[in-house]
Amino acid sequence: MSLPTAKKIIETRAVTKRFPGKKTLFGTASFVSAVNEVSLEIRRGETFSIVGESGCGKSTLARLLVRLLHPSDGAVLYEGNDISTLSETDMRRLRKDLQFVFQDPFSSLNPRMTVGALIEEPMKVHTRLTRAERRRKVAELLGKVGLRAAFANRYPHEFSGGQRQRIGIARALASGPKVIVGDEPVSALDVSVQAQVINLLEDLKAEFDLTLILIAHDLAVIRHMSDRIAVMYLGEVVELAGNDDLFDRPLHPYTRALMRAIPIASPHGRSMNATLTGDVPSPLDPPSGCRFHPRCPHATDLCVSEKPVLGQAGGDRTVACHHWKEIADTAESAVREPPRSDTAAKRFALFRERSQQQEPTTAGNI
Ligand code: SF4
């Protein structure tokens, strides 16, 4: 079901990204499809998350969405216009709308620039603000992300990881974006700092009316923040659903395995390997039919020979599995109860409470 253009802000149409692999013995180049024919829509104002194991293509897809990478095939539309074919000059004009917060707050900021210069730079490129106006805006943005205006004169190495990520967020906000993509924006941070940065992103999303696209592997973070979630496996979306639907009743066997891999409070814990058999196949030579079939406990001959397409699965969700209906009906009891939203909410509410009690602008503290 396609949305009217006014409601969707980004759309991908069978977008594919191939990277060159190793040359074969005969000198011909092979290609790895990091993202394979992904079609999805991101709605204005939502938090849309992409999850999956490491190497599933989620970061590549995130970069394609904001044209940090060119697709090999297919199209990416922003507000109804195909940005995959725009010239660099035209893209530069759009860049102010589409910003990216990187995973590593230690390497994503130029160490030779002051914090003020880092935040001011996008304003120089994308706005006509005067120098004095830009300086005022830098101070205002630092305040928005919980840092002191005086920090503008310092250098990134003087700050902790959490503070640097806040600086990265302030820089992303500087051009007045409509969409911010966060690629694992908190995974390099301590747990308590993660919650502060997540709460900050949520507050800024509401204040600046942003659409947030989040790449994360922490399902508690995903559960807490997302409106809708796309699950990726070997470069393809295998399930796309609203937060409650996905966590309360995962349909695709891979999504169910992801849910079972959520750590539980036990000395034995759980891991992805405990719930999935077999290795992740090579994207250089993906399996025939359903790419998940070598690891799927429900695989049949049909799964080996025929690729399932992402199809409607009732309500606002789609799933790519030949047998999702039978599996959902018969194996419901086999799925461990996923973390309830109230559990995740409690975790973050607690952090929010603590972070409000703390003085976040003291160097060394977040
Ligand atoms: Fe498993 Fe077949 Fe569904 Fe793929 S299509 S997830 S192999 S049951």
Other CB atoms within 10 Å distance of the CB of residue 136:
13
What H or E segment, with its residue span, contains residue 133? helix 131-144
Question: Does the beta carbon of 235 lie inside 6 Å of ligand 1?
Answer: no
Question: Does the beta carbon of 321 lie inside 6 Å of ligand 1?
Answer: yes
CB 213 within 8 A of CB 180: yes
For residue range 68-100, what is the model confidence (pLDDT) as tens digits?
999 999 999 999 999 998 988 889 889 999 999
**Distance between CA 361 and CA 345 in Å, rounded?**
25
Question: What's the 50 CA to ligand 1 centre distance in angstroms?
Answer: 20
pLDDT of residue 28: 63
For residue range 306-315, what is the model confidence (pLDDT) as tens digits?
999 999 998 8
Type of residue numbered 213 = I
- For tokens 């406990």, what's the residue? 297
Q: Is the pLDDT of residue 105 over 90?
A: no
CB 165 within 8 A of CB 189: yes
Q: Is the pLDDT of residue 129 over 80?
A: yes
pLDDT of residue 364: 33
For residue range 42-74, what is the model confidence (pLDDT) as tens digits?
999 999 999 998 889 999 999 999 999 999 999
Question: What's the 273 CA to ligand 1 centre distance in angstroms?
Answer: 18
pLDDT of residue 229: 97
Return the best residue to mutate from 233, 296, 301, 326 for the ligand 1 pocket (most ligand atoms within 8 A of CB): 296
Tell me the backbone φ, ψ of residue 299, rounded to 5 degrees.
Answer: -65, 140
Residue 291, judged by CB atoms within 10 A of its CB (0-12, 13-18, 19+), counts as buried
pLDDT of residue 282: 81
Q: For ligand 1, what atom is nearest to the CA of residue 327?
A: 8
Question: Does the beta carbon of 295 lie inside 6 Å of ligand 1?
Answer: no
Is the Cα torsion angle 25, 31, 34, 38 positive or negative in sign? negative
DSSP state of 44: T
Question: Does the beta carbon of 62 lie inside 6 Å of ligand 1?
Answer: no
Burial letters for 43-61: b for 16+ Cβ neighbours within 10 Å, e otherwise? ebebbbbbbbbeebbbbbb
Return the best residue to mutate from 251, 293, 295, 306 for the ligand 1 pocket (most ligand atoms within 8 A of CB): 293
For residue range 204-243, what is the model confidence (pLDDT) as tens digits?
999 999 999 999 888 888 998 999 999 999 999 999 999 9
Question: What's the 32 CA to ligand 1 centre distance in angstroms?
Answer: 22
Question: What's the 322 CA to ligand 1 centre distance in angstroms?
Answer: 6
Question: Does the beta carbon of 229 lie inside 6 Å of ligand 1?
Answer: no
pLDDT of residue 351: 46
Between 27 and 120, whose confidence is greater?
Answer: 120
Query: Between β-strands 8-23 and 179-183, what pairing exists: parallel, antiparallel or unpaired?
Result: unpaired
**Distance between CA 210 and CA 10 in Å, rounded?**
13
